[in-house]
Amino acid sequence: MNVCIVGTGYVGLVSAACFAEMGNDVVCVDVNPDVVSTLQAGKVHIYEPGLEDMVRRNYAEGRLIFTTSLAEGMERASFVFITVGTPSRPDGSCDLCYVEQVAREIGQNMHKPVIVVDKSTVPVGTADRVRAIIRQELDKRGVNHDFDVVSNPEFLKEGDAVSDFMKPDRVVVGTDNEKSAEYLKTLYAPFARSREKLIVMGVRSAEMTKYAANCMLATKISFINEIANICERVGADVRDVRIGIGSDHRIGYHFIYPGVGYGGSCFPKDVRALINTAHEFSFRPELLEAVDTVNNRQKKRMAERIAEYFAQQGGVSGKTLAVWGLAFKANTDDTREAAALAMIEMLTAQGMRIRAFDPVAGEKVREQLAHNPLVEIVDGQYEAVQGAQALLVVTEWNQFRTPDFERVKSLLTAPILFDGRNLYPPSMMAELGFAYFCVGRPD
């Protein structure tokens, strides 16, 4: 089949590579000529395990093409996927300017029947808006092509994006048009092999499903962080509590790891966007508001504990903190809404010096925080610790899981470790002689 994908971010590029991998002809369109030429040179501008190989191979075999021209992309396409960014506005609502711009251009370039697929995360009602914009452009041109606008939200996780796309839990298709549903079933048949994995529903329900899924997952995380905070105070261990509740199959073990709060480009933005949508319809979503509040508090929690610890020693000002991990989670270079950045901002505002290391995101953060003279990004995890007063672990990269603790101890001025991800057993840390602070477990 001929597929056009507009936007080469995580979702767009992964979808394009995976559709091409299954033998489809895919044209990937991006407005940024630098991104297009990087991709044409066989390089991928985002860090995603397995993606570069797949892009390079399919490009070399001619099934994947990159261009800045939507007209070229739409020449033969039966499907046009919209996978452009939907950033947050300052009030938390979703900014649809890129989606709307693409919709206009689709209307301007359509010359045959096509199925337009919204894959970007967009508020309920956006497919109708995209449909209206395309219709308006066709009317301006005085032409009438048969087209449909379908919602097909994406559920992939950064770091596991390729395998999530290749083996999805489900594929949601929102359309009232049976023909469109059949076409999408055919396109997705190699991915959603069992038929019940492809779920067809109304357009607005599909749009809502995406937000409901992310808000549910965010709620699980804020819930367990709340429980962890109570555990700390009452002397319970959240690790045991997680296993105790997770063994109930209605609850499950997944996505109830406490930590530094959720970050990334999706959960914080999507929770706020759904809150905003509810407000627009004069409904106050109190649970979602609490999920957001709890998360904002959790992101600062470890920094507060560091400040509290050093309060007895004249405060954090002038002290140096080693930080392991800057990305919002492991296996990505993404630092959007990363807890590490929130904590660094908080602690440097109080005069603390930071020596940070991240295996992938370091370079990016070096540029982002270049204005802050108290922050130094170094190239090795032990280099970060050298001469620091304490170590803070923020991201659960594998290389931080079993470090050489004797070396860490000898490099720190005192053995103090704040662990935002509960990576180490408290008993072992005590034996090693560390003052060890973690999440939801007795210190």
| Cα distance between residue 58 and residue 4, in whole Å | 15
Whole-angstrom CA distances from 243 to 154, 229, 329, 425 are: 30, 17, 22, 16
Task: Tell me, residue by residue from 292 to 321, as one string, x for binding to ligand UGA by CB under 6 A and - for no binding.
Answer: ------------------------------
Query: In the annotation, is 215 catalytic?
Result: no
Among 114, 133, 266, 393, binds ligand UGA (CB under 6 A): 266
Asked if residue 123 binds ligand UGA (CB under 6 A), the reply is no
Nearest approach in angstroms of CB 381 to ligand UGA is 19
Does 434 bind ligand UGA (CB under 6 A)? Our answer is: no
Specify which residues 65 forms β-bridges with: 27
User: Binding segment for ligand UGA among 28-36, 42-50, 53-61, 253-261 (CB under 6 A)?
Assistant: 253-261
Residue type (1 letter), 422: N
Summary count for the chain: helices (H), strands (E): 17, 14
H or E stretch including 38? helix 33-40
Among the listed ranges 49-57, 124-132, 152-160, 288-296, the one in contact with ligand UGA (CB under 6 A) is 152-160
Among 165, 262, 397, 418, binds ligand UGA (CB under 6 A): 262
**CB–CB of 29/69 below 8 Å?**
yes
Binding-residue total with ligand UGA (CB under 6 A)? 20
158 binds ligand UGA (CB under 6 A): yes
415 is in an annotated binding site: no
Q: Which of 311, 307, 367, 359 is nearest to 332 (CA)?
A: 359
Q: Which stretch binds ligand UGA (CB under 6 A): 75-83, 232-240, 263-271, 376-384?
A: 263-271
Bridge-based pairing state of the strands 114-118 and 147-151: parallel
Q: Which is nearer to ligand UGA, 156 or 438 (CB)?
A: 156
The residue within the footprint of ligand UGA, chosen from 7, 73, 168, 264 (CB under 6 A), is 264
256 near ligand UGA, judged by CB under 6 A: yes
Residue 117 interacts with ligand UGA (CB under 6 A)?
Answer: no
Q: How far is the CB of 298 from ligand UGA (least distance, A)?
A: 8
Which candidate in 94, 231, 266, 438 is catalytic?
266
Under rule CB under 6 A, residue 7 binds ligand UGA: no
- 75 or 164: whose CB is closer to ligand UGA? 164
267 binds ligand UGA, rule: CB under 6 A:
yes
Among the residue ranges 109-117, 198-206, 254-262, 282-290, the one whose residues contact ligand UGA (CB under 6 A) = 254-262
Q: Is 297 a known ligand-binding residue?
A: no
Q: Does 241 bind ligand UGA (CB under 6 A)?
A: no
- The verdict on 147 binding ligand UGA (CB under 6 A) reads no
Which DSSP string corresponds to 357-422?
E-TTTHHHHHHHTTT-TTEEE-SSHHHHHTT-SEEEE-S--GGGTS--HHHHHHHSSS-EEEETT-
Taking CB under 6 A as the binding criterion, the range among 70-78, 106-114, 155-163, 245-253 that sits at the site for ligand UGA is 155-163
Question: Per rule CB under 6 A, is residue 48 in the interface with ligand UGA?
Answer: no
The verdict on 191 binding ligand UGA (CB under 6 A) reads: no
Report DSSP letters for 72-137, one per residue: HHHSS-SEEEE----PBPTTS-B--HHHHHHHHHHHHH--S-EEEEE-S---TTHHHHHHHHHHHH
Tokens representing 126? 């956006």
Distance CA(88)–CA(96), nearest Å, equals 9
In one letter, which amino acid is 84? V
Consult the annotation and say whether 119 binds a ligand.
Answer: no
Query: CA-CA-CA-CA torsion for 99, 100, 102, 104, nearest 10 degrees?
Result: 170
Among 12, 107, 168, 259, interactor with ligand UGA by CB under 6 A = 259
d(C-alpha 272, C-alpha 293), whole Å: 10
CA distance 81 to 246: 38
Question: Which residues have a catalytic role annotated?
Answer: 266
- The footprint of ligand UGA (CB under 6 A) covers 121, 154-158, 214, 217, 221, 255-257, 259, 262-264, 266-267, 328-329
